[in-house]
């Protein structure tokens, strides 16, 4: 899911924002609408077991997980949802929203298990910002990687994510199923009318 706001510096609308302002210390304009948008998506398309985010998206993912944990957090910050608490969060370059108005998101702790990736050369979200977030989590694992402000695409990172999710959900990864025999004739395009005529 992309941020709900179009960036002014990208008139074609391809660059999206989660909100505007100082995400590290100030109040973020548009954040309430952003979180409501995420909650609406997970309620309409869920339930979801977990969420993943990068940078500001990671901060939003953590906030959503926190809100789903405790009703008083939702009531205090005026959010409504029936979605159950998430079982995990995977965050790349994650950090806390430090403005006083977001304090209840991190108090007493966030209990949803988190896997926090941090780039050792990241100057946008330095390592200590992710460590501060981990300090407000009851169950967080920090995984450093050699790199800057990006989502690593290597096999080791993918394996760590799979192992984390498998450990949380208690499931076993399976081998992909072999593909069936090729079709002897091409599929005919399906339209809403044919579905209604042939239920």
Q: Quickly list DSSP for 119-130.
A: ETT-SSS-HHHH
Q: Is the pLDDT of residue 22 over 50?
A: yes
Closest CA to 92 of 122, 68, 65: 122
For residues 91-118, give the mean pLDDT: 89
pLDDT tens figures, 177-194: 454 444 444 434 433 333
Residue 193's SS3 state is helix
pLDDT at res. 6: 47
More confident residue, 30 or 69: 69
- By the 10 Å C-beta count (0-12 exposed, 13-18 middle, 19+ buried), 81 is classed as middle
Is this prediction's pTM over 0.85?
no
For residues 122-142, give the mean pLDDT: 91
pLDDT at res. 1: 56
**CA-to-CA distance for 199 and 195, rounded, in angstroms?**
6
Identify the weakest region by mean pLDDT among 31-45, 56-70, 98-112: 31-45
The residues near 81 (Cβ < 8 Å, ≥ 6 apart) are 39, 42, 43, 67, 68, 74
For residues 16-37, give the mean pLDDT: 63
For residue 156, name the pLDDT band (cuts at 50, 70, 90). very high
Q: Is the pLDDT of residue 137 over 90?
A: yes
More confident residue, 81 or 129: 129
pLDDT at res. 25: 59
Query: Are the beta carbons of 60 and 35 closer than 8 angstroms?
Result: yes
The residues near 184 (Cβ < 8 Å, ≥ 6 apart) are none
Cα torsion for 25, 135, 145, 112, to the nearest 10°?
Answer: -100
pLDDT tens figures, 58-81: 988 999 999 898 877 777 667 777
The CATH architecture to which 5-172 belongs is 3-Layer(aba) Sandwich (3.40)
For residue 111, name the pLDDT band (cuts at 50, 70, 90). very high
For residues 89-117, give the mean pLDDT: 89
Q: How many helices (H) and strands (E) does the chain have?
A: 6, 6
pLDDT at res. 97: 84
**CA-to-CA distance for 25 and 3, rounded, in angstroms?**
20
> In the chain, what are the domain boundaries?
5-172
H or E, element range at 73: helix 71-76
């Amino acid at each position: 899911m992309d941020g709900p706001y179009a960036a002014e510096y990208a008139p074609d609308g391809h660059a999206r924002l989660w909100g505007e302002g100082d995400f590290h210390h100030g109040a973020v304009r548009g954040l309430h609408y952003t979180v409501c948008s995420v909650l609406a998506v997970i309620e309409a398309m869920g339930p979801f077991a977990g969420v993943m985010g990068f940078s500001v998206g990671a901060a939003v993912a953590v906030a959503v997980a926190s809100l789903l944990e405790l009703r008083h957090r939702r009531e205090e910050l005026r959010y409504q949802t029936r979605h159950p608490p998430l079982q995990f969060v995977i965050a790349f370059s994650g950090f806390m929203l430090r403005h006083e108005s977001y304090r209840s998101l991190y108090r007493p702790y966030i209990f949803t298990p988190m896997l926090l990736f941090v780039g050792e050369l990241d100057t946008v979200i330095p390592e200590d910002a992710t460590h501060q977030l981990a300090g407000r989590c009851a169950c967080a694992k920090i995984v450093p990687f050699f790199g800057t402000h990006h989502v690593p695409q290597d096999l080791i990172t993918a394996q760590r994510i799979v192992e984390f999710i498998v450990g949380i959900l208690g499931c076993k990864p399976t081998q992909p199923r072999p593909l069936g025999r090729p079709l002897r004739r091409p599929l005919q395009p399906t339209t809403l009318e044919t579905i209604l005529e042939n239920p």
